[in-house]
């Protein structure tokens, strides 16, 4: 099983002992969890444009799941696209980060919609933009970043099945077909989509294209931001 971190982010930040493009064969992209931009309830902004204006007048803080996590990199991408000064506050996992945004200790966060939906619906957090090409059915009133006036801000988590390099194509195709069959079953697909997750389930080529695109996207953000993993 590969994901956005192991295949598109970590190789740009540290020595990982493998080459995502040479050591694996993409089989099927199984799940995609788009991130959503949320702010603490008391922050006096109701749109991305208002957040940018507010951030240019005051320093903002961004809670993330950890250094190199999707929320960290999207926050850096936001800074690069807007010029807004954001202080990164990293945690050990999403739960503590979300708690501190809800408590008002940190201004904003970029996190997967499945983990922040309940806080948004209860009014504990305010969602300003979905960081995906389409709106999400679990928060249908939240605009995409492009609709909110910030085209190019996009990201989230994804997970997919990989095989060792050199796996014969008939085996790859069989694994792809079986994966699609399992995830297209109604009891599986309905349960996952109700959490705001997408099931792309495309071809191996579709998955390979996503890996390449995200690797370039996050590689550029990491290099421009000078992001490195901290050593203990």
Number of domains in the chain: 2
Are 144 and 129 a contacting pair, CB within 8 Å?
yes
Task: Answer yes or no: is pLDDT of 101 > 90.
Answer: yes
Looking at 91, 114, 130, the residue that finishes a domain is 130
Instruction: Count the residues in the chain.
Output: 232
DSSP state of 52: H
Distance set, CA 220 to CA 53, 143, 209, 214, 232 (Å)? 25, 26, 17, 10, 25
User: Tell me, what's the pLDDT at 232?
Assistant: 42
Residue 143 inside a domain? The answer is no
Bridge-based pairing of strands 125-130 and 108-112 is unpaired
57-67 pLDDT, tens digit each: 999 999 999 99
Residue 49 inside a domain? The answer is yes
User: Tell me, what's the pLDDT at 22?
Assistant: 94
Shared domain check, 56 and 28: no
pLDDT category of residue 152 using cuts at 50, 70 and 90: confident
**Cβ atoms within 10 A of the Cβ of 195, count?**
14
159 forms bridges with which residues in the sheet? 3, 31
Considering the chain, what percentage of its residues have pLDDT values greater than 70?
99
Bridge-based pairing of strands 108-112 and 60-64 is parallel
Shared domain check, 174 and 92: no
Are 31 and 180 a contacting pair, CB within 8 Å?
no
168-199 pLDDT, tens digit each: 999 999 999 999 999 999 999 999 998 889 99
Residue 144 inside a domain? The answer is no
Considering the chain, what percentage of its residues have pLDDT values greater than 90?
86
Shared domain check, 93 and 61: yes
User: Tell me, what's the pLDDT at 229?
Assistant: 79
Shared domain check, 43 and 116: yes
Query: How large is the average pLDDT for residues 72-97?
Result: 93
pTM score = 0.90
Shared domain check, 105 and 57: yes
Residue 148 inside a domain? The answer is no
Q: How far apart are CA 91 and CA 185, in angstroms?
A: 36
Question: Mean pLDDT across the chain, nearest whole number?
Answer: 93
Shared domain check, 47 and 89: yes
Residue 232 inside a domain? The answer is no
User: What domain range is 165 assigned to?
Assistant: 2-32+155-224
Q: How far apart are CA 128 and CA 44, in angstroms?
A: 12
Nearest CA-CA partner of 172 in 18, 4, 28 = 28
Shared domain check, 118 and 40: yes
Residue 145 inside a domain? The answer is no
Residue 231 inside a domain? The answer is no
107-142 pLDDT, tens digit each: 999 999 988 999 999 999 999 999 999 999 999 999
Task: Answer yes or no: is pLDDT of 230 > 70.
Answer: no
Tell me the CATH number at 39. Answer: 3.40.190.10
Shared domain check, 122 and 58: yes
Q: How far apart are CA 101 and CA 33, in angstroms?
A: 20
Residue 168 inside a domain? The answer is yes
pLDDT category of residue 228 using cuts at 50, 70 and 90: confident
DSSP state of 126: E
């Amino acid at each position: 099983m590969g994901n956005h971190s192991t295949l598109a982010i970590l190789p740009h930040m540290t020595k990982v002992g493998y080459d995502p493009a040479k050591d694996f064969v993409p089989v099927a992209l199984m799940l995609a969890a788009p991130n959503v931009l949320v702010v603490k309830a008391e922050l006096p902004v109701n749109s991305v444009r208002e957040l940018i204006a507010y951030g240019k007048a005051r320093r903002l803080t961004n809670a993330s799941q950890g250094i190199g996590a999707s929320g960290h990199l999207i926050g850096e991408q936001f800074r690069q696209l807007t010029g807004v000064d954001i202080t990164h506050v990293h945690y050990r996992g999403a739960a503590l980060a979300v708690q501190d945004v809800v408590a008002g200790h940190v201004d904003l966060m970029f996190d997967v919609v499945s983990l922040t939906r309940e806080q948004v619906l209860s009014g504990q957090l305010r969602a300003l933009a979905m960081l995906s090409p389409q709106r999400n059915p679990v928060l249908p009133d939240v605009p995409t970043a492009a609709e909110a006036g910030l085209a190019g801000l996009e990201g989230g988590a994804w997970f997919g099945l990989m095989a060792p390099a050199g796996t014969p194509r008939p085996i790859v195709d069989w694994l792809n077909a079986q994966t699609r069959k399992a995830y297209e079953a109604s009891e599986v697909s309905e349960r996952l989509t109700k959490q705001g997750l997408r099931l792309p389930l495309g071809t191996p080529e579709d998955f390979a294209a996503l890996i390449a695109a995200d690797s370039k996207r996050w590689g550029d953000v990491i290099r421009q931001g000078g992001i490195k993993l901290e050593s203990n």
